[in-house]
Structure 1
Amino acid sequence: MPEPSTAIASPVPRRSSVSIIRASVLKFVGLLTGVFLLAGYLVLYLAHDLDRNEETESAFYTQKAVRALEKSIAATVKDYAFWGDAYKHLHTRIDTDWAYVRQNVGPTLYADFGFRGIFVVDAADHTAYSVVDGQLSSVDASTWLKHGLPDLLTQARAGAEAETPTTLFANIGGRPALVGAAAITPGTDPTVTPDDGPPSVLIFVDILGDDRLGTLGKDYGVDELRIATAAELNGPSVFVLGENGVAGSLHWNPPKPGERLLGLGLPLIGIAALLVCLMAWAILRRTTASARALDASYQSLQTSQSALAISEARFRDVVEASSDWIWEIDHAGRFTYLSERFESVTGLTRPEWLGAPMDQLLCTELGTVTQWLSIPNRRPDISVQCRYVDTQGQERITRLSARAMADQGFRGTATDVTEEVESRRRIEFLSQHDSLTGLPNRTRLREFLDGKLKTQPTAERPLVMLSLDLDRFKSVNDLLGHAAGDAVLNEISGRLANRVRHGDLVARIGGDEFVLILTDLKGQDEVEMLCQRLIESIESPIRIGEQEVFVGASIGIAMAPTDATEATELLRYADIALYEAKSGGRNTWRFYAGDMNSKIVERRRLESDLRFAIKHGELRLHFQPRFRIADGKMVGAEALVRWQHPERGLIPPDTFIPIAEETGLILALSNWVMETAFQYASSWPDQLFVSVNLSPSEFKRGSLVERVQRAVQQSRIEPGRVELEITENVMLDDAPGALEIMRTLKRLGIRIAMDDFGTGYSSLSYLRTFPFDGLKIDRSFLSRLTATEDDRPVIEAIVGLGHALSLTVTAEGIETPEHLELLRSVLCDEGQGYFLSRPLDMEGFSALIRVTETTGET
C-alpha cells in the first residue's frame, strides 16, 4: 500500500517591514507636503483676496470722490445760474461790467474755485460771454468742448424748469476736465419775468490736474490719485472719466496688504516644511533600523499595523485642523456624520445632533436645506448661505457646499462667513449713514424724502421738514477740541432721535446741521410745540469730562405741499427759514414765508454791491472829533465808514457791517478804513490822533498785526497817533490769543481802547490783564440820565476805575449841555457827541482843524 503523500503549503509572500515603513512614511510626507502646498495656496489666495478687497474699496472711494467733485461744480453753477440778476445781465442782455468788472461772474471764480473756463451760450447757441483763466476773452465754448457742447446745452435747458444743473467729463487739450452747466433762469426772484425763448446756458469748466486730484484723493483716503498714463490704462486701479473714457482715466496706488502677508507667511510655511522633512528623515532612519531587527518575527507585522493606525490618526487630525466642518446626511436628511470641528466652530455638541434632521439646525432664506439639495440638475460647485443659532443665542451665517452620495445621501463642508457678511452689511450701512453719529446721511435723506413726497401729503396731514443748526457749537471745538465736539454731536443726535416718532427721520447732513422729516403733525401749533421741546432738550447741559457744555439750536421749517412739493425746493426753503431764525436771535424757529426768499435775494445783491463798493471807491470816511472836557481842546477824531450807494443812497453801517463780517469782506473793508484814515490823519497836526474800530472777527483771522503795521508804514503816521477801538467780545472768544495780539500791537506803539464799556460782561480783570490805554463809556448811560439819575453813580464809578488803572476815560453820546457839565464834574477826560460836533466828512474836518489852529478854540 503506497504511503500517503504530504502536501506542504508554501508560505505566503510578505512585504518586508522596512518597505512598509518606508511607504507609510513617504505617504505621510506626501500628505504633509500636500497640506503645506494647500496652506501655501491658501496664503496666496488670501493675499490676493486682501489686495482685491483693497482695490475694490479704493475704487469705491475714488468713485465717491469724483461724484463729490461733480456735486460741487453742479451746486456752484446752480447758485450762479438760477439767479434773477444773472438772468437780467447774462441772458436778457450781456452786461460785461456787471459780470466781469463787478466780479459777479468773473475773475473770482478762477481765483476762488479754480474754474479755467466760464462761458455763457445764448439762445442761438452762440457764445455770448467767456472768461478764460480769469481774463475776459472771446474764445468760443465749442473750441473747448467740441462735440459734447450740443448735448450739454440740451440737458442744461431740459433741467431749467426743475432748476437742475448737468455735468459731464470732457477732454480739453489732452487733459480731463469737469464741465458743469445750467440754464440761466430768474429762480425765485419775483422782480424778473422770463421770456418765451430758450434760456441761455452758463458753463463752468474745471480742468483737473494731478495736484488737484492728489488733494481730492487724500480727502477720501485714496493714495496718489492722478491722471492715468498710457502704460497704466490696461492695468488695475483705473477709473474711466466720461462715456467710454472720452475724458481720460484716473489711476491710484491701492494698499497692498497681501504683499506683506506673503512676505511673512510663505517663509514661515517653508521653514515648517523643512522641519517636517528633517523630522520625517529622522523617523525613517530610526524605524528602518528597528524594522530590520524585527523583520523575521510576527511582531514586525503588528508594528506595521500599529504604524498604519498612527498614520490614519494623523490624517484625521489634519482633516480636523481645517477651518470647515464636514457633514454627511442620509436620504431622510438626518446627520450621519459630523467632524470634530463642528463643535469648535458652532459650539454645539456632536452626539446631540447626530441623527437629528439637518433642517432643524440650518435654514436658508428661500426654504429648507433639503429642498435646496433636491433641486433637479443642481450644480455641485454651487454653495448656499444658511443661518443657525449658536449656544449664546447669536445668529451665525455659514456657506454650505454639498455633493450627492451613492446611497441618496449627501456629504459636504460648512464654512462660517458671519464676519464676511457683517462687513458687507457695514459697508452698505456706511454708504447711507453718518460714520460719527450713525444717523442717515444726505443720500438716505433724499431717498426717504422722495418716498414720502410720492405719498402726496395734504394740507391737513402735511410733511414737515425741520432744518436744525446748532448754536455756539464752534466754541466747543475751539476751546475743548474736536473730540469734545464729536461727543456733543453724538449726544445731540441721540436726543433728537428720542424726540421723533417711529417712521420719522433724523439725518445729519453737515458739521452741526441736522434735518428732521416728520409726519402725523396736524397743524402749526403741534410743530411749534415740537420745536420748543427740541430746543429745550438741546439746551440741557452736556457733560464732557469734568465740564458742562451748553449749546443751542435754530430751526427752519418748511412743509409739503403748502410750501413745496419737490425735495430740492423743500430743502432750500427750510434752509432759508433757518437763516431767518438765526437772524432773529438764534434759539428760536421760523416757518418759511414767501418774502424770505426776497430777503435772501436782496441780501445777495447787497453783498455783491458791497464787494464792488470796496474795490471801486463808493465808501466814504467821516470823522467825529473828540475833545478834552477840561479845556475843550480837540485831541483827535474817530473814523466812521459810510457807504454812498449809487442807487440806494446812504446805507447805514449797522446794515452792511454784519454782511461784511459774515462773508469775510470785513478784512478788505477794514484794510480800506485803516489805510484811508491813517493816510488822511498823517497830515493833521501832531497833537491829534485818529481812532479806528476793529471787528472781533479780525482777531481770529487776517493777520491783524501785519495789516495794521503795513497801513502805518504806508501812511508814515506816527504809531502813537493811532488808536484801535475793540469790544469785550474779543476777550470772550479767545482771551489768550487776543492778549498776545494786543501786546504785539502795543510794542509797535499803537494805542488800544475798550469800546462800549459797561454794556456787556466787562470785568475788572479785563482792564487789569489786557494792555488798554483807555476806555469809552457807552452812550446809553448818558442817554438815560434825562429819565433817571440812577446811572450817575455808575458813570462816577467808571471814571474812578479808569483813573485808578491810569486809563483815559472817554464818554460817548454827549448831546446836551447837562451831559457835558456832568462829565466835567466827575473829571471825565474826553468826550464826543452831537453837542460837541457831528461827524464831518474830510473837507469839513479839515476846515475844523484850520479854525482850531487859527483861533485856538473849538
Structure 2
Amino acid sequence: MPNTTRTTSSPSSSRSSVALTRASLFKFLWLLVGVFFLASYLLVYLANDLDRTEEAESAFYTRKAVQSLEKSLLSTVKDYAFWGDTYRQLHTQVDIDWAYVRQNVGPTLFTDFGFEGMFVVNDSNRTVYAVVKGELKPVDASQWLKQSTGAILERARAGAEAEIPTSAFINIGGVPALVVAAAITPGTDPTVLRDGRVPSVLIFVDILEPAKLEALGQDYGVDDLRVATPDELYDPSVFSLGENGSAGTLHWSPPEPGQRLLGLGLPLVGFAALLVCLMTWVILRRTTASAQALDASYASLQHSQMALAISEARFRDVVEASSDWVWEIDADWRFIYLSERFEDVTGLSRDLWIGAAMDDLLRTELGTVSQWLSIPSRRPNISVQCRYVDTKGQERITRVSARKMAGGGFRGTATDVTEEVEARRRIEFLSQHDALTGLPNRTRLQEFLDGKLKASPTVEHPLVMLSLDLDRFKPVNDLLGHAAGDFVLNEVSNRLAECIRHGDLVARIGGDEFVLILTDLRSQEEVETLCRRLIESVERPIQIDEQQVFVSTSIGIAMAPNDASEASELLRYADIALYESKSSGRNTWRFYAGDMNAKIIERRRLERDLRFAIKHNELRLHFQPRFRIADGQMVGAEALVRWQHPERGLIAPDTFISIAEETGLIISLSNWVIETACHHAVLWPEHLFVSVNLSPSEFKRGNLIQRVQTALHDSGIDPARVELEITESVMLEDATGALEVMHRLKRLGVRIAMDDFGTGYSSLSYLRTFPFDGLKIDRSFLNRLAESDDDKSIIQAIVGLGQALSLTVTAEGIETAEHLNLLKAVACDEGQGYFLSRPLDNEAFSTLVGARTVAGTDSKV
C-alpha cells in the first residue's frame, strides 16, 4: 500500500488560532477605540472651528461697521468743507450768523448727525469757530480734544488740492472718538476765488459712546459691541482703534454654536462607543469557539509564500482601488507597466501603450516628460502637470509624480485633475466677471481703468467713460419675473458689447447699471454718435416667449483728463452726469459739467432742509376753494402744501415733492398734510369737504389705510367730508394691489377721485373697475381752449362720461369767464381755478368761508 500521511490539528495549534483570533479582535477593538477617539477629537475640533468661524465673521462685520462709520463721516465733512459758501463764511471771514444762527454749519450737526464737536481752525492754527454738543462755545479744539491737532491739520491741508478729507481715531477721557477733518476749499463753485492763504480746516468729532457702539453693532449683526475692559484686551474678540490701539479697543460677544454642538454630540459618541464595546464582547465569544475548529493544515503553509501572496494582493488592491493610475518606464522612456486604472481613467488601451514612449502620450507646458525627469536637481516629491488627449478627442490634465527605480527607469502615479483645474479657472473668472452676463465686474473694471489711466490719456486722445442705467427695467422684473429680467440683462449686455471696438470694455457693476470704457473716440461728436447707437440698440424690442419687452437707457459721460485723472473721481463724475441725464427725461445722454456737482450738493442741502422742515413745523397748508358750477356755491377745498423756508421764502410743492418721493420723506410729509387738513376741515361748515392729494408711492408702502384711519379718528371729522385724489399711475404700476387698497379706503367712508384725467392712458376700464366717486379734468384742456376746438369736444365728452358713470366731474384751471361759461354749457359739476379763487392760507380761507356764510349759501361765483 502506498504510504500515506494523516495530518491532525494539535491543541497547541488550536490555541494559536484562538490567540490569533483574540489578537485580531482586540486589534479591531483598539481600532474602534481609535475611531471613537478620532470622532470625539473631530467633534471638538469642529465645535472650536465653528466658534472660530463665528468669531472671524463677527470680527469682519465689526471691521465693516467701523469702516462704514468712517466712510459716512468722511463723506459728510467733504460735503461741508468743499462748499463755496463755507469757504466764504468760515475761511475768508467767520460769519457766526450764517453758520450757527441759520444752522448751515451749526447745531443740526449734533441733532441730526450726532457730532459732539465741530471746529474751524484758521490758517494760524487758531480755533475761530466751535460748536460743542449743539451749543456755540469759545473753546480751542486741542484743549477740548485734550491732545494736539497738528498732525490731522497737516494731513487735511495736504489733501486740499485733491479735495480729500482725512480721519483718525483718538481717545478722549477714556472714550474712543472718530475725528474727521478737511481743508475748506471753494470746491467746484466758479464764483469763489481763493485768497492765497493756507486753507482753514473743518473738524467733526463723533464720540463713540456706549449707546452709539451698541446701535452700530446691531446694524451689522454684532452683539454687545462696546469698549474693552483691561481684562478683555487679550480676548480674540477685540478690534483696535487708532495706531496700536491708542484710541481704545472694541470688544463684542460672538455666538458660540460649537459649545451647543459639543453638549449634544459628545454624549451620543460615548453611547455609541459603549454599544460597540458590548457588540465586540459578543463577537469575541463566538469567534473564539469558531477558531478552535480551524483545520491545523494552515500551520504547514510556508510563511514566506503566504506573506508574499498577501503583500502582492495588498499592492494590487491598493493600486486598483486608487483613483490614480500607476506606471513604470524603462531607461528608454517606454512604458513597461500600466495599472488597470489606466484604462478606466484615460479610456486608452493598456496593451497598445505598453512599449510606447511616454513622451508620445504626455507633455508638460515647458517640454517633454523625459526632459523633466532628466533634470539633475529635481526633487523626488515634486509633481508636474501634463496634458493628453483621450479617446473622445478632448484634452485632459493629469498630475504626474515619479521616483527613480534601483535598476534604472522610473515608477510613479498619475492623477486626473482636469475638473480641479477647470474649477480653479472658473473661480478666477468669476472673481473678475459678473456671474449672470459674463461681463467684467467692478473689480475687473477698476483694474482696467487703473491701467488705462496710467497710460496718461491726453486731451487729443482722451479716455471716455459712459455710465449707463436701464430705463423701464423695474416693471419687467415686477410683471414678468426675475427670469425675464435676467434674460433682458443678458440681451442688453450682448448689444452693448457689439457696439464697442476691440480693446474697449463693457462692465456690469450691479443691477441694471453698466459702464463702458472707450479709448479711440477723439471728439464729442464721435461720443454722441456712439451714445445714439447705444440707445437705438438697447431700444430694439426684446422677444420673451410670445411677448415683446421694451427698455431704454440713460447715459452719463465723463472724460479723462478733461474731467478727472483718477478712477474714483471719473466714476463719480460719470454717475453725476447719469443722474442729470435721468433728470432730463431719461433715454438721453449728458456730458459731465462742473455745475452738476453743485446741483447735487444743492439737492442734498434741500433734502436736509426738508427733513428739518417736516420735524420743525416749517410746512404750511393752503386751501383752494372748489365751487359748484351751476349755482356758484362752495362745496369744499383742495389742500395744497407749501414750505416756508427760512431763507428762500415760500416754496411751491413742485420743488420738493419729487425729493420727498425719492428719499422716502413722502410718507411723513403726507402724514402731516392729511392730519393737518382733517384738523382744519373739521372746523368748517359741515357741507364743505377737504380734498388731499396722494403720491403713487404711498400705495406701495407706508400703511396708507392705517394712516388715513388714524387721521380721521384723531380729528373727529366725518369720513364723507374727506376726498383723496390719486393719479392713474397708481393703477398702471400695480392694478390688483391698488384696487384692494382703494376698496379698503372706501370701507372707511372717504371719497376717491381720479386726478389729472385725460393726460395719461385714461382707460375707461379704470373708471368702471375702480371705486371712484369723481374725476378731475386736467387744467391743460382749459388752457388750450382758445387754440383748439378739439379740447372743447374732449371736455364735453369727459363730462358726459362722468355723468354716465355717476361720477362728480371737476374742472381744474378755470382762469377766465370763457372757461366758466363753457363748463356751465356742458353741465360740468364742479370747478376750481384762479378766476374763482387763488389758494388761500388757513386764516384767509376761514375768513372767506365766514363771509360767504354770513352772506348766505346762495352766493354766486
TM over 0.5: yes
1:430-452 Cα offsets, whole Å, 9 max, x none, are 44333444433333222211211
User: Amino acid of the residue matched to residue 654 of structure 1?
Assistant: D
Q: 1:226 to 1:102 in 2, by over 3 A?
A: same
Counterpart of 1:191 in structure 2 is 191
Among residues 292, 295, 310, which one is paired with 2:296 in the alignment?
Answer: 292
Match of 1:216? 220
2:723 counterpart residue number = 723
AA partner of residue 201 (structure 2) = S
Q: Distance in 1 between matches of 2:55 and 2:236?
A: 11
Is 1:200 the counterpart of 2:204 in the alignment? no
Distance 2:57 2:588 in 1: 41
Q: What is the Cα deviation at residue 464 of structure 1?
A: 1.3
1:504–1:516 Cα contact (<8 Å) kept? yes
TM-score (norm 1): 0.80
- 1:731–1:210: structure 2 CA closer, same or farther, 3 Å change rule? same
How many residue pairs align between the two structures? Answer: 833
Which residue number corresponds to residue 568 of structure 2? 568
Cα gap change, 1:249 to 1:836, in 2 (>3 Å): closer
SS at match of 1:790: helix
Shift of 1:57: 12
1:158 aligns with: 158
2: distance between equivalents of 1:50 and 1:344? 40
Compute the displacement of 1:553 (Å). 1.2
Task: Give distance in 1, aligned partners of 2:343 and 2:143.
Answer: 72
Residue equivalent to 1:13: none
Deviation at 1:494, TM superposition (A): 3.4
Separation in 1, partners of 2:613, 2:445: 41
User: Could you tell me how far 1:463 is from its partner in structure 2?
Assistant: 1.5
CA shift for structure 1 position 530 = 2.4
Question: Match of 1:473?
Answer: 473
- Matched residue, 1:744: 744
Please name the residue that 2:799 is paired with: 799
Q: Which runs of 5+ in 2 are unaligned?
A: 1-11
2:188–2:595: 8 Å Cα contact kept in structure 1?
no
Q: Which amino acid aligns with 1:810?
A: T
- What are structure 1's unaligned runs of at least 5 residues? 1-15
Contact 2:179-2:206 within 8 A present in 1 as well: yes
Q: CA, structure 1 residues 64+617, in 2 after alignment: closer, same or farther (shift >3 Å)?
A: closer
Report what 2:624 is aligned to. 624
1:594-645 Cα shifts (integer Å, max 9, x gaps):
4433433443444444445555555544332221111111222223334455
Q: 1:466: how far off?
A: 0.6
What residue in structure 2 maps to residue 389 of structure 1? 388
> Aligned-pair distance for 1:51?
9.3
Secondary structure, aligned partner of 2:220: helix
Rounded Cα–Cα distance in structure 2 between residues aligned with 1:490 and 1:172: 54
Shift of 1:110: 7.4
User: Partners in 1 of 2:292 and 2:174 — Cα distance?
Assistant: 75
1:245-289, Cα deviation, whole Å (9 max, x unpaired): 5554778569989x99x9999999999999999999999997986
| Secondary structure in 2 matching 1:803 | helix
Taking the TM superposition and a 5 Å limit, the aligned residue runs for 1:450-529 are: 450-482=450-482, 484-529=484-529
> Aligned in 2, Cα 1:285/1:644: closer, same or farther, shift over 3 Å?
closer
Aligned AA for 2:492? I
The equivalences for 1:707-786 within 5 A come to 707-786=707-786
Q: Does the CA-based 8 Å contact 1:237-1:253 persist in structure 2? A: no
Whole-Å Cα distance in 1 between the matches of residues 115 and 582 of structure 2?
36
Pair 1:585 & 2:585 matched: yes
Aligned-pair CA distance for 1:45: 9.5
State the SS of the aligned residue for 2:819. helix
For residue 194 of structure 1, report the CA deviation from its aligned partner: 3.8
Over residues 161-220 of structure 1, what are the superposed CA-to-partner deviations in whole Å (9 max), with x where a residue is unaligned? 2233445566778787766554443321223334421441444648474664465369xx
Moved more, 723-732 or 474-483: 474-483
Partner of 2:121: 122
Query: Aligned partners of 1:837, 1:18: CA distance in 2, in Å?
Result: 122
Say whether 1:670 aligns with 2:670: yes
* TM alignment of 1:247-646, pairs within 5 A: 248=249, 292-293=296-297, 300-301=300-301, 305=305, 308-309=308-309, 312-331=312-331, 333-364=333-364, 369-370=369-370, 372-373=372-373, 377-380=377-380, 382-391=381-390, 392=392, 394-407=394-407, 409-482=409-482, 484-543=484-543, 548-615=548-615, 619-643=619-643, 645=645
User: Could you say if the C-alpha distance between residues 197 and 736 of structure 1 is closer, same or farther in structure 2, counting changes exceeding 3 Å?
Assistant: same
The residue number in structure 1 matching 2:702 is: 702
Q: Is the 8 A contact 1:464 1:557 kept in 2?
A: yes
> Quick one: distance in 2 between partners of 1:176 and 1:637?
56
Higher mean alpha-carbon deviation, 783-792 vs 148-157, is at 148-157
Amino acid paired to 2:497: A
The 10-residue stretch of structure 1 (86-95 or 584-593) with the greater mean CA deviation from structure 2: 86-95
The change in CA–CA distance for 1:174 and 1:556 in structure 2 (over 3 A counts) is same
Backbone CA RMSD of aligned residues = 5.0
Q: What are the equivalent positions in structure 2 for 1:163-182 lying under 5 Å apart?
A: 163-167=163-167, 181-182=181-182
Q: Secondary structure at the residue paired with 1:556?
A: strand
Q: Which amino acid letter does the alignment assign opposite residue 533 of structure 1? A: R
Matches within 5 A, 1:43-58: none
What CA distance in whole angstroms lies between the structure 2 residues aligned with 1:591 and 1:97? Answer: 38
User: Which residue of structure 1 aligns with residue 3 of structure 2?
Assistant: none
Alpha-carbon distance in 1 for matches of 2:514, 2:207: 31
Equivalent AA in structure 2 for residue 778 of structure 1: D
Q: 1:63-117 CA deviation, whole Å, 9 max, x = no partner?
A: 598466365554454444433344445555666776677776678777877x665
Instruction: Give 3-state SS (helix, strand or coil) of 2:840's partner.
Output: coil
What secondary structure sits across from 1:553 in the alignment? strand
Residue pair 1:116, 1:205 contacting (<8 A) in 2 also: yes
Cα distance in structure 1, aligned partners of 2:700 and 2:750 = 19
Counterparts of residues 822-833 of structure 1 (less than 5 Å)? 822-833=822-833
CA distance in 2: counterparts of 1:683 and 1:576, whole angstroms? 48
Which residue number in structure 2 is paired with residue 848 of structure 1?
848
Taking structure 1 as reference, are residues 388 and 179 closer, same or farther at Cα in structure 2, changes over 3 Å only? Answer: farther
2: CA distance, partners of 1:427 / 1:102: 55
Q: Which amino acid aligns with 1:661?
A: E
Q: Judging changes above 3 Å, is the alpha-carbon distance between structure 1 residues 609 and 447 closer, same or farther for their aligned structure 2 residues?
A: same
Please show how residues 131-146 of structure 1 align to structure 2 within 5 Å. none
Gap change, CA 1:647 and 1:177, over 3 Å in 2: closer
Q: Which residue of 2 is the match for residue 11 of structure 1?
A: none
Q: Structure 1 residue 680: deviation in Å?
A: 3.5
SS for the counterpart of 1:191 is coil
State how far apart, in whole Å, the 1-side matches of 2:379 and 2:278 are: 40
Return closer, same or farther for 1:775/1:535 CA change in 2, 3 Å cut-off: same
One-letter amino acid of the structure 2 residue matched with residue 821 of structure 1: N
Q: Which stretch shows the higher mean deviation, 568-577 or 598-607?
A: 598-607
Q: Which residue does 2:7 correspond to in 1?
A: none
Offset of 1:716 from its aligned partner?
A: 4.3
- Counterpart contact for 1:580–1:596, Cα < 8 Å: yes
